[in-house]
């Protein structure tokens, strides 16, 4: 059953995605992408690109 876009809480989805990405950064022991080395940044970028773009896919 598909959710009605009118009743879908996008702010909750965005917050969940941010939480997931921040947890991923913690893997590197960093608090911000600007603190990653070039190799870590490339790995993080590859991870982000592999994630679904549709907020309903999380």
User: What does the alpha-carbon distance between residue 52 and residue 2 come to, in Å, rounded to a whole number?
Assistant: 17
Q: Is residue 31 part of a domain?
A: yes
Q: Give the SS3 label for residue 22.
A: helix
User: What does the alpha-carbon distance between residue 57 and residue 28 come to, in Å, rounded to a whole number?
Assistant: 25
Contact present, 56 and 3 (Cβ < 8 Å): yes
Q: Is residue 45 part of a domain?
A: yes
State the residue range of the domain holding 40. Answer: 19-51
Q: Is residue 23 part of a domain?
A: yes
Q: Is residue 12 part of a domain?
A: no
Q: Is residue 8 part of a domain?
A: no
% of residues, the chain, pLDDT over 90 = 0
Total number of domains constituting the chain: 1
Q: Is residue 2 part of a domain?
A: no
User: What does the alpha-carbon distance between residue 17 and residue 19 come to, in Å, rounded to a whole number?
Assistant: 5
Q: Is residue 25 part of a domain?
A: yes
Taking the CA atoms of residue 15, residue 21, residue 26 and residue 30 in that order, the dihedral angle to the nearest 10 degrees is -100
pLDDT exceeds 70 at position 22: yes
For residue 19, name the pLDDT band (cuts at 50, 70, 90).
confident
Q: Is residue 35 part of a domain?
A: yes
């Amino acid at each position: 059953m598909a959710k009605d876009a009118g009743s879908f809480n996008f702010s909750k989805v965005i917050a969940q995605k941010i939480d997931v990405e921040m947890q991923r950064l913690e893997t590197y022991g960093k608090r911000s992408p600007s603190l990653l080395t070039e190799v870590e940044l490339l790995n993080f970028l590859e991870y982000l690109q592999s994630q679904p773009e549709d907020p309903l896919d999380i």
